[in-house]
Every structure is written in structure tokens, then in C-alpha cells.
């Protein structure tokens, strides 16, 4: 996959991150409305050995939750140390978002996104550069880096969902 957003922290790239983050809930809402009997169909695997759309959304929430927490801590504390808690293996197993309905997950995702965008929209360039130290990593990661990580992760998964859920569309 060609990277759609550069790792360089520029005003243009920050705008791309913000646009991508704002679009994800809208795209997921449109996706859920395009499917007949969504509560049943969005719980069906999207292919042999693949996750369901509901499991993909739970996966996105797990990743977003961990990255957003890193962002918030970086904005509140000078170079906080962040524990190595895996979004899927640790966070996901504890919270089990995958057991909820797609519509519930989408509502939760949308609220979380509004909060994240509100926080990010008020940042100055120096705030985007604030760093966090993560257990097991030598490099420090910035607020921009983590927000970009969320955006890139969602670009990949939401685009994949849109292609695959096309098979489940309303007649």
C-alpha cells in the first residue's frame, strides 16, 4: 500500500490527517446503511478465514483507543512513558468490543472521534510535535505520528471493508 500521508509533520499533512480522521465515521455509517439486515450481515465473515465487519470495527476501536490515550498523555505530561499494552491481544481481550453490535460500536466510535478531533483541532504546531516514550521502543513518537497512525490504519481497513461489504449490499 502506498502511504497516503507523509510522516513529515507539515500543515498540509496535519490537514490530511484531520480530514481522514473526520471521514472514517461517515464512511462507516454509509457502509452500515448500505446493507440489508445489517446486524446479521455485519457479523458474517467477509471471506474465508477473515473477520466480520463488526470485528474489524472493534479492531479499529482498540487501536484508536490506545493511540488516542498516547496522544492525550503526550499533551498533558512532558514525555510520558507509555506501557506496552497491545491494542488487540491485551486491550481487545479485556474490553471485548467484538461482542457488541456494529451499530453500538459505530455510535461509540463516532463519539470517540468527535472528542479526538476536538482535541486535535485546537493544537498548535508545537503541540503536534509533543512526544511520548513507549516501552520497548527506542524512538519517541509525536502526537502527529500517533494521529497519522490512526488515520493510516483506518484508511486501510475502511477501504477494505467498503470493497468487501459490497457483496452484502441491499438488492
Quick: pLDDT tens for 113-134: 999 999 999 999 999 999 988 7
pLDDT of residue 37: 65
What's residue 49's pLDDT?
84
| Packing angle of the helix pair 102-121, 143-165 (nearest 10 deg) | 150
Percent with pLDDT over 90 in the chain: 54
Which of 10-14, 39-43, 110-114 has the lowest average pLDDT?
A: 39-43
β-pair partners for 45: 52
pLDDT attached to residue 144? 97
Length of the chain: 171
Q: What does the pLDDT read at residue 140?
A: 84
Instruction: Return the CA Rg of the chain.
Output: 17
Tell me, what's the pLDDT at 96? 87
Domains of the chain: 11-168 (1.20.120.450)
- Grid cell digits, residue 28: 462507516
Within 8 A by CB and 6+ apart from 33, the residues are none
The beta-carbon contacts of 156-159 under 8 Å, at least 24 apart in sequence, are 156/1, 157/56, 157/59, 157/60, 158/24, 158/27, 158/28, 158/31, 158/60
pLDDT tens-digit profile of 29-60? 999 888 876 667 887 887 888 888 999 999 99
Predicted pLDDT at 1: 46
Q: 3-state secondary structure string, 125-168? A: HHHHCCEEEECCCCCEEEHHHHHHHHHHHHHHHHHHHHHHHHHH
Instruction: Name the phi and psi angles at 134, rounded to 5.
Output: -110, 135
In whole angstroms, what is the distance from residue 30 CA to residue 104 CA?
15
Taking residues 66-70, report their average pLDDT. 92
State yes or no: pLDDT of 161 exceeds 50: yes
Q: Does pLDDT of 170 surpass 70?
A: no
Q: Which residues contact 24 (CB under 8 A, 6 or more apart)?
A: 60, 109, 113, 154, 158
Q: pTM of this prediction?
A: 0.88
Average pLDDT, the chain: 88
- Whole-angstrom Cα distance, residue 112 to residue 63? 12
Amino acid at each position: 500500500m502506498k502511504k497516503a500521508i507523509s510522516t513529515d509533520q507539515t500543515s498540509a499533512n496535519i490537514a490530511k490527517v484531520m480530514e481522514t480522521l473526520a471521514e472514517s465515521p461517515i464512511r462507516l455509517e454509509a457502509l452500515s446503511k448500505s446493507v440489508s439486515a445489517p446486524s446479521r450481515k455485519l457479523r458474517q465473515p467477509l471471506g474465508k478465514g477473515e473477520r466480520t465487519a463488526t470485528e474489524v470495527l472493534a479492531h479499529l476501536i482498540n487501536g484508536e483507543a490506545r493511540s488516542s490515550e498516547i496522544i492525550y498523555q503526550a499533551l498533558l505530561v512532558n514525555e510520558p512513558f507509555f506501557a506496552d499494552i497491545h491494542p488487540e491481544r491485551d486491550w481487545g481481550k479485556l474490553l471485548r468490543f467484538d461482542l457488541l453490535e456494529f451499530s453500538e460500536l459505530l455510535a461509540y466510535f463516532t463519539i470517540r472521534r468527535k472528542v479526538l478531533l476536538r482535541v486535535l483541532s485546537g493544537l498548535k504546531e508545537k503541540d503536534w510535535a509533543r512526544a511520548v516514550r513507549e516501552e520497548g521502543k527506542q524512538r519517541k513518537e509525536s502526537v502527529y505520528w500517533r494521529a497519522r497512525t490512526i488515520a493510516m490504519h483506518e484508511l486501510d481497513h475502511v477501504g477494505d471493508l467498503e470493497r468487501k461489504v459490497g457483496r452484502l449490499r441491499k438488492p
